[in-house]
Amino acid sequence: MDPVQAGYFIVFSGRTALNVDAKGRLAIPTRHRDALMRSCGGQVVLTHHPYDSCLSLYPEQQWQDVARQVASLSDAEPVVRYLKRRFLGQAVELELDGSGRILIPTELRELVALDKRAMLVGQIHRFEIWSDTAWQAEQEQYSQIDLTAMPESVQKLSF
């Protein structure tokens, strides 16, 4: 059953510093683990983020929706083929284990230089998983953004 139809509106927000163990396992914080278990039975999909040097973690249903949209794009443009290879072609289906952990495949850890420390960042319908080094670099880059140069659609938002 669709999580929204079942009365679940999944909201993943906030950030949490986490350890990645020697086997490449990452424990999902309890507050998010419970939502993942309710919404998708712990079935998730992990892939390379299409734009940033991080991984994207989706509950199964959200993944299917996004993957369908990406798959429907025409292969006529080389950049679209690249996007599909990076985003769809590197996706792996995972299941939270009994301790609420996911095993991040070596190939994906290497793509984003994920070692012992990670930052789990909620993005409402998915998570981003950053290496500690890449997260710090992202924060430094963000601090130098000219916020007045935001698109008009963002400037109209009321925070």
Average pLDDT over residues 120-132: 96
Average pLDDT over the chain reads: 91
Distance CA 31, CA 54 (A): 22
Topology annotation, domain 15-155: Chemotaxis protein chec (3.40.1550)
Distance CA 12, CA 126 (A): 7
Residue of 90, 113, 88, 118 lying closest to 25 (CA atoms): 118
Question: Where are the domains positioned within the chain?
Answer: 15-155
Which residue would you say has higher pLDDT here, 149 or 88?
A: 88
**46 CB burial (10 A radius; 0-12, 13-18, 19+):** buried
Q: Predicted confidence band at 9 (pLDDT cuts at 50, 70, 90)?
A: low
Lowest mean pLDDT among 9-13, 46-50, 59-63, 127-131: 9-13
Query: Taking the chain, what is the end-to-end CA distance rounded to the nearest angstrom?
Result: 33
- Is 120's pLDDT higher than 90? yes
